[in-house]
């Protein structure tokens, strides 16, 4: 694998991913479909915005947070969405953990997800994914835990098709991503993977203000049309 970063920043990754997604959706199957792009905030929004612009469709969010152990915040033992969809890890490290501790960690993660959703909600589009082609986008997939629970939450709302889209993911995860969706669009699958940030020249934390701005730029005009 080349030592050089694969993407300059999230906007560059989003523009490259938008081109691949556009090619996929201009096929006969999707040509007349209603499309909605969903991002995993905060980092997924700068990647998803160019895709929504290229497809001229709404940009929405699915907020999902990892459930982690207090003694090891880097270890994801599950994930939860703001609306309560839960996925648990099957790893032995989790199965030995006390049930009460799991419930506490789950509650804390969902509270964080709810708080983030409340901040983003005023700038979300007024759309229903039922019967639509939905794209679930993040800036990269490392373990797949939050992507999996977000996909489950979207599936519950009965879209016609669910596509998982990311600039980068480990090769070993592709078979799982295909189980969670109808199609997978991933630009690069380098090994060894290590971390998402390794493959970006610039990978600063996305602030809430920047995340909100992504939604505002894409959805302001669309929400005005809905209200008029």
The ranges assigned to domains in the chain are 10-63+124-227, 66-118
The Cα-based distances of 129 to 2, 12, 141, 176 in angstroms read 39, 27, 23, 23
Segment among 24-28, 36-40, 47-51, 199-203 with least mean pLDDT:
24-28
> Token pair of 147, please?
């992507």
- Rounded to whole angstroms, the Cα distance separating 81 from 66 reads 9
Task: Report which of residues 96 and 193 the model is more confident about.
Answer: 193
Reference 57, options 125, 152, 136; nearest CA is 125
User: Strands 59-61 and 64-69: what pairing?
Assistant: unpaired
pLDDT tens by residue, 88-118 = 887 644 555 566 788 889 999 999 999 999 9
Asked whether residue 28 carries a pLDDT value surpassing 70, the answer given is no
**Topology of domain 10-63+124-227, CATH:** Rossmann fold (3.40.50)
Number of H-type helices and E-type strands within the chain:
7, 8
pTM: 0.92
| C-alpha to C-alpha distance for 78 and 75, rounded to whole angstroms | 9
Residue 213 pLDDT more than 70?
A: yes
Indicate the helix (H) or strand (E) that contains 52.
helix 44-55
**Token pair belonging to 106:** 């789950």
pLDDT at residue 42 above 70? yes
pLDDT tens for each residue of 52-68: 999 999 999 999 999 98
- Cis link prior to 39 (omega < 30° from 0)? no
Write the CB contacts of 175 (distance below 8 Å, at least 6 apart in sequence): none
What is the average pLDDT across 139-167? 96
């Amino acid at each position: 694998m080349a030592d050089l970063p694969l993407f300059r920043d999230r906007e560059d990754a989003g523009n490259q991913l938008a081109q691949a997604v556009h090619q996929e959706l201009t096929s006969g199957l999707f040509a007349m479909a209603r499309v909605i792009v969903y991002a995993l905030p905060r980092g997924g929004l700068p990647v998803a915005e160019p895709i929504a612009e290229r497809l001229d469709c709404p940009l929405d969010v699915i907020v999902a947070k990892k459930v982690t152990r207090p003694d090891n915040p880097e270890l994801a033992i599950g994930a939860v969405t703001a609306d309560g969809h839960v996925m648990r890890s099957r790893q032995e490290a989790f199965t030995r953990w006390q049930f009460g501790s799991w419930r506490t960690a789950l509650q804390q993660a969902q509270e964080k997800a709810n708080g983030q959703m409340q901040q983003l909600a005023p700038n979300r589009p007024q759309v229903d994914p039922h019967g639509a082609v939905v794209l679930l986008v993040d800036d990269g997939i490392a373990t797949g835990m939050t992507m999996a629970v977000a996909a489950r939450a979207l599936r519950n709302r009965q879209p016609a098709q669910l596509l998982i889209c990311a600039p980068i993911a480990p090769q070993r995860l592709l078979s799982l991503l295909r189980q969670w969706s109808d199609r997978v669009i991933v630009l690069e699958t380098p090994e060894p993977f290590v971390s998402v940030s390794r493959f970006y020249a610039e990978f600063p934390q996305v602030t809430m203000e920047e995340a909100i701005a992504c939604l505002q730029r894409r959805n302001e005009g669309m929400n005005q049309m809905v209200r008029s």
